[in-house]
Amino acid sequence: MKIADKKNKILEFLKTSTIDQHTKTMVETLLPVMKEAQVDDLFDTFAEEKSALEKNSQKRQRVELKYKIMAEKLAQIEINKFKK
Amino acid sequence: MFGSEDIAKIGEKAKGFFGNSKDLLAKFIPSLTEAFGEAWKAKWGEKWKVFSGKFKEEWGRLGKEKEEISQGAQAAATKTTEQTMASATTAVKLDETKVEKGSADSYKEALATGVASLASLSQKQQVFANKGLDKLSKAVKEGKTDVLDFDEFKAVAATAISTLKALKIKYPDKDKLKTALEQISKASESSKYPIAKLLQTSVLKVLKPDITVLDILNPLNSSYLDFFKKFGISGVSELSELKDTMSLLKEKEITADDKAKVVAAYKKYIIPNTTKSDVVRVVDFVQKLVLEKPASLTIDQLAELVSLVDVKDLDRMIAILTGKIGEAKA
């Protein structure tokens, strides 16, 4: 990937990154003049963050679904018992 | 006692809960109790405690994992920005024990803008800018008045205007710009470039380029005249006329005609993209400075001036100062 493309991608990553606003501002401001090695570091950092956050979000969705199903089943069992 | 409608209702409540909240005991049990009475609470309480405990444990672990991902990204991004800022941060380092975090952050963001502005200059211009900034620092610290040469002046002025332009874009509202500049100024008191001191006339005079009419007329060196031509000035005679027009501001009782001439000159050569009414305000502002000769520019005045000038004119000045445009374009 060309350095200009990486810079554009970093700006895209910033929109969803969870780093604080001050650091986002610093990155946005300095990005145009950063050396290639620093752009590479930032690109890797944000790509890793995005991938890890996506995995974490999927795990959370799975846990939510798992407990939702369990809660529904548990409620049904208890109601059935109560009805007897 | 309970029909399928009741079960569906509980199922809906469970869905509703999981969609909106993570705390089973706080949300789910009260809604069940509300729907089916206190007997449910007594019967279900212990089971839900175990259930919600497991859920909270898993949820908490994932929350902690998310926090660690953020902290890792935060640390890495901060390290990279610090590397980019390294030389400038050393030069204008803040004593962070003396400033509040909010002020320090604003100062660093302004500094980052300055670093980006400086780094966008050519290597040669960066050397001039650094030399010029060093002279400014000496003027602040030691009261030395080692005047910047023309190249140093252009590089420092381009850096300063770029930084102010970025702040103007970030804070389009004049009062917000003023507040930001005040905050940055306050934080900069603990740095090598205290902004309030930089705005003192005694310091600003080192920025005045040391050019005489003989330099401009020098047939062996056309660089000065070439520079003025970028503002749209055709040659020496027009430059001389412009100088005379600008001198009109020194008159305490300037006539309406003379003032109109100055305004027209500003509009034609210096800030062509700024609205006529704002050009008049800029001229009023400059006239006040010329007549009153204050010991220092205030932050309020700086904010006023920056907010009056159109961003396109700031871009034009930067382009002229950095030699990025040949002939000035209005």
Average pLDDT, chain B: 75
Give the model's pLDDT for residue B267. 94
pLDDT at B79 over 50: yes
Residue of A nearest to B65 (CA): A56
Q: Which residues of B touch A23 (CB under 8 A)?
A: 74, 77-78, 81
Q: What is the DSSP letter of B296?
A: B
Contacts of the segment A22-26: beta carbons below 8 A, 24+ positions apart = A22/B105, A22/B108, A22/B109, A23/B74, A23/B77, A23/B78, A23/B81, A25/B109, A25/B112, A26/B78, A26/B81, A26/B85, A26/B108, A26/B109, A26/B112
Q: Any idea where the domains of chain A sit in the sequence?
A: 3-83
Residues of chain B above pLDDT 90, percent: 15
Beta-carbon count within 10 A of B265 CB? 19
Beta bridge partners of B200: B296
If one compares B109 and B22, the residue with the highest pLDDT of the two is B109
Nearest to B135 by CA among B192, B190, B196, B94: B192
Q: Which residues of B touch A67 (CB under 8 A)?
A: 18, 51, 55, 58
The alpha carbons of chain A give a radius of gyration, in whole angstroms, of 22
Give the model's pLDDT for residue A19. 93
pLDDT at B274 over 90: yes
pLDDT tens for A32-43 read: 878 888 899 999
Taking each helix axis from N to C end, the angle separating B101-119 and B123-142, rounded to the nearest 10 degrees, works out to 140
Average pLDDT over residues B72-96: 72
pLDDT at B303 over 50: yes
Beta-carbon count within 10 A of B105 CB? 19
pLDDT tens for B161-216 read: 887 888 888 888 888 888 878 877 776 666 666 666 666 666 666 556 666 666 66
Q: Which residues of B touch A60 (CB under 8 A)?
A: 59, 62
CA distance B110 to A26: 9
Interface probe, candidates B81, B83, B87, B107, chain A, greatest A C-beta count within 10 A: B81
pLDDT at B322 over 60: yes
| B96 and A CB contact within 8 Å | no
Q: Which residues of B touch A29 (CB under 8 A)?
A: 109, 112-113, 115-116, 166
| ipTM of this complex prediction, to 2 decimal places | 0.84
pLDDT tens for A18-32 read: 999 888 988 888 888
Interface of B with A in 113-172 (CB under 8 A): 113, 115-116, 119-120, 166
Residues of chain A above pLDDT 70, percent: 86
Evaluate whether B126 touches B152 at the Cβ level (below 8 Å).
no
Q: Which residues of A touch B58 (CB under 8 A)?
A: 63, 67
Evaluate whether B218 touches B314 at the Cβ level (below 8 Å).
no
Give the model's pLDDT for residue B273. 95
Give the model's pLDDT for residue A43. 94
Nearest to B80 by CA among A45, A15, A6, A19: A45
Give the model's pLDDT for residue B20. 47
Average pLDDT over residues B64-70: 92
Range with lowest mean pLDDT among A10-14, B232-236, B272-276: B232-236
**Conformation bin of residue B152: beta by default, left when phi > 0, alpha when psi is -120 to 50:** alpha
Residue of B nearest to A72 (CA): B11
Q: Which residues of B touch A36 (CB under 8 A)?
A: none
Kindly determine whether residue B109 and residue A26, on different chains, have CB atoms separated by under 8 Å: yes
Sequence letter at residue B94: L
CA distance B46 to B272: 77
Helices (H), chain B: 4-20, 24-36, 38-91, 101-119, 123-142, 150-170, 174-188, 195-198, 201-204, 213-217, 223-229, 236-247, 256-265, 276-292, 299-308, 311-321
If one compares B179 and B24, the residue with the highest pLDDT of the two is B179
CA distance A10 to A33: 14
Average pLDDT over residues B117-133: 75
Average pLDDT over residues B145-151: 77
Evaluate whether A75 touches B7 at the Cβ level (below 8 Å).
yes
Kindly determine whether residue A71 and residue B24, on different chains, have CB atoms separated by under 8 Å: yes
Average pLDDT, chain A: 85
Kindly determine whether residue A22 and residue B105, on different chains, have CB atoms separated by under 8 Å: yes
pLDDT band at A14 (very low <50, low <70, confident <90, very high): very high
Residues of chain B above pLDDT 70, percent: 65
Residue of B nearest to A30 (CA): B116
Residues 6+ apart with CB under 8 A from B16: B31
Give the model's pLDDT for residue B13. 57
Classify burial at B247, counting beta carbons within 10 Å of its beta carbon; exposed 0-12, middle 13-18, buried 19 or more.
Answer: exposed
Beta-carbon count within 10 A of A32 CB? 11
Residue of B nearest to A55 (CA): B66
pLDDT tens for B244-266 read: 888 888 888 889 999 999 999 99
pLDDT band at B226 (very low <50, low <70, confident <90, very high): confident
3-class DSSP state of B98: coil
State the Cα angle at B138 between B132 and B142, rounded to 5°. 160
pLDDT tens for B94-120 read: 555 555 666 667 667 777 777 777 777
Reported pTM: 0.60
